[in-house]
Amino acid sequence: MDDLEGKVAVVTGAASGIGLGLAQAFAEEGMKLVLADIDDGYLETARASLAEAGAEVLAVRTDVADAKALDNLRDSTFERFGTAHVLCNNAGIGARSPLVEPLEISAWDRVFGVDLYSILHGLNAFLPRMLEQGEGHIVNTSSRQGLVATPDLGPYPPAKHASVALTEMLRAELAALGTAVSTSVLTPGGVVTRQLSEAMRRVERGELDDPNIREFITSRVADAVASIDVGRLVVRAIRGDRLYVNTHRETLTWLRERLDRIEADADALGTLR
């Protein structure tokens, strides 16, 4: 989609962080906005600031882990605007949970519900309408942890890996249909978010005992990019119909190092073909 002006964008997890940056970037393009988030207070603040800047905005409180809530989001969107052109399945959470310690399965269920199953709920709710109208773009927010996993992050990297694979599969299936509906996967590195800022404040207050965690958070803050710049990158991806959206070149280095490790093991073990 080259011309985004007047089109409708739906963004989950839109009250802050990357979601708000996406909404701000879409507003710059003259798009109408539907903001979804579970936090009423931050959601209203985001709606008011975007409306004050001149955007036409609808805010819908949404628990993305609930399929019925996504159906309600769709119905509210079509009732207000009659259509949806861009869907950003962006909401996400994390939960530190080392695999060598007893696992809290309920925490894994919650992370997978928000980070992965919410994408499925979004597809069920919006994709049929997009296919019917013959136009649309779906952006699924993963993470660079969806490409190369870091230890001690529990369910987060597995859920994000799954969202990358899901988007790649969806892209191929849409192409096979010959439809103008397409998709992208956003795999951001460090981004200035409320959660990252709070984590850094905990480091500064000396509340984190693990030096590896302190070092990780500090490095993330040092190379973090602005969320609105991530949003503008996504706009370029939609216009150019690009599948992979990366914020940091470092991620590509990680991927090459991963491939080197895979190749080294193949060389050491041999392959069957």
Q: What Rg do the C-alpha atoms of the chain give, in angstroms? A: 19
Q: What is the DSSP letter of 115?
A: I
What domains are defined for the chain? Answer: 8-191+226-266 (3.40.50.720), 193-225 (no CATH)
Helix axes 105-112, 156-177, angle to 10 degrees: 30
pLDDT, tens digit, 9 for 90 and up, residues 240-272: 999 999 999 999 999 999 999 999 999 999 999
Q: Which residues, 6 or more positions from 64, have their beta carbon under 8 angstroms from its beta carbon?
A: 12, 13, 36, 38, 70, 89, 91, 114, 118, 121, 122
pLDDT at 97: 86
SS3 of 215, please?
helix
Which positions are catalytic?
Answer: 156
Q: What is the DSSP letter of 225?
A: B
Q: What is the DSSP letter of 247?
A: S
pLDDT at 260: 98
pLDDT at 196: 77
How would you list the strands of the sheet with 181-187, edge to edge?
A: 57-61, 32-37, 8-12, 86-89, 136-141, 181-187, 244-246
pLDDT, tens digit, 9 for 90 and up, residues 154-184: 999 999 999 999 999 999 999 999 999 999 9
Considering the chain, what is the average pLDDT of its residues?
95
